[in-house]
Structure formats: structure tokens, C-alpha cells
Amino acid sequence: MLKGERVTLRGIRRDDLPKLCEFNNDLAVELAGGGDPPIPQSLERLQAEFDQNAAKGGRDGTWFAIEADGKFIGQCGLVGFDIFQGVARVCELGIAIGDKEYWGRGYGRETIALLLDYAFRYWNLHRVWLRTNSRNERAIRCYQSCGFVEEGRLRGHEWYDGSYIDTLCMGILREEWEHIKKQD
């Protein structure tokens, strides 16, 4: 478990699934995430997928539940690791705060700070990157406040609520994170 002042990152549990299903079927939450078109998801399918993965045993990986005030409010994680050849040491960060009561109040920023600390300190990564849709100004401000910089723009890359929009690629290097940590 990773603990911040207000946020705890822990493994996703089966009792989180009804709330996760609610988040996954909330159009505003899905549009904020960008990328794929919103697709409905039944609780039964989410539970079946969870049970199938749990039956494999082992560890939960680097995908976390976000908990605040004793409530499950979203999920986040590190995926797409390029570490096994020992060259790039890169991964992608993903985050979704599904509980809209927690939007715009610094919970995402604290979650990202915990994930970056985990990525650079414990995984010894060189770079963490993410992508977001260009209309998600709240997320872009959050990512920038955590030290991410725009590294590229895929023009007209995703269909969003009736039109094509750009996808932003943002990243942070280990030395940039270390500089931010020294200022804290």
C-alpha cells in the first residue's frame, strides 16, 4: 500500500466492483478519460473478469484502487513497462477519479505524486509518460503541476463527443522528478 496525506493506493478488492462499475458507466467520467468511445459494462462482466484474474493467484500488479476518506474513489496504475531489456526503463501512467465529489480538489495530484515516487524510487524508472485528450484542461493542469511536460500531440487522434480532437502525450523524466522532490 502507498499512503499519502489524504490518499491511500491499495489493491482493488471485489467489494470495490459495484462502485467501479458505476464509474465505468458514467458518461462524464468516461469522456474525461478520453481515448475509446464510452462502452457500457455490466457488473457481472466486471466481476467475472476480476474473478478470472484473482484465480490466477500471484500479485495484483501495479494497478491500484484510490481510497480517500475510507471510500473507493477511483483507480490508477503503471502499465506498459519497458524495463526487461534494461535500456529504456519507461512506463505509462493511468488515472481515473470516478467519484466526481473528489474532482478538482487535489486528490489526483496527490495520487500522481505517490505513483511517481513508486515508479522512480522502487521501479528505478527513467521516464513516466501518459496521454490525455486535449479538452481535459483540469487533467492537463494537474499533470503539469506534477512536473509532466507536453512531449507531443497526435492531431485529430480521438473521437470525443461528436468531433475529432487531439491527444496530448506528456512525460516526466527521473531527474525532473528528483528536482521537484528537492523543492518539497
Instruction: Tell me if residue 94 falls in helix, strand or coil.
Output: strand
The fraction of the chain above a pLDDT of 70, given in percent, is 96
CA 92 to mean position of chain CA atoms: 9
Q: What is the DSSP letter of 38?
A: P
Q: Give 98's contacts (C-beta < 8 A, 6+ positions apart).
A: 19, 20, 22, 23, 24, 26, 29, 73, 74, 75
**Domains in the chain: how many in total?**
1
Nearest to 62 by CA among 41, 43, 42, 83: 83
Q: Can you read off the three cell numbers belonging to residue 99?
A: 467519484
Tens of pLDDT along 101-120? 999 999 999 999 999 999 99
Taking the C-alpha atoms of residue 123 and residue 95, their distance in angstroms, rounded to an integer, is: 18
66 phi, psi to nearest 5 deg:
-100, 125
Tens of pLDDT along 29-81? 888 876 667 788 899 999 999 999 889 887 777 899 999 999 999 999 999 88
pLDDT bracket for residue 8 (50, 70, 90):
very high
Let me know: does 88 contact 82? Beta carbons within 8 Å: yes
Domain that includes residue 86, residue range: 2-183
Q: Give 41's contacts (C-beta < 8 A, 6+ positions apart).
A: 21, 24, 25
Question: 138 vs 77, 143, 158, CA distance in Å?
Answer: 19, 9, 18
* CATH number (domain holding residue 28): 3.40.630.30
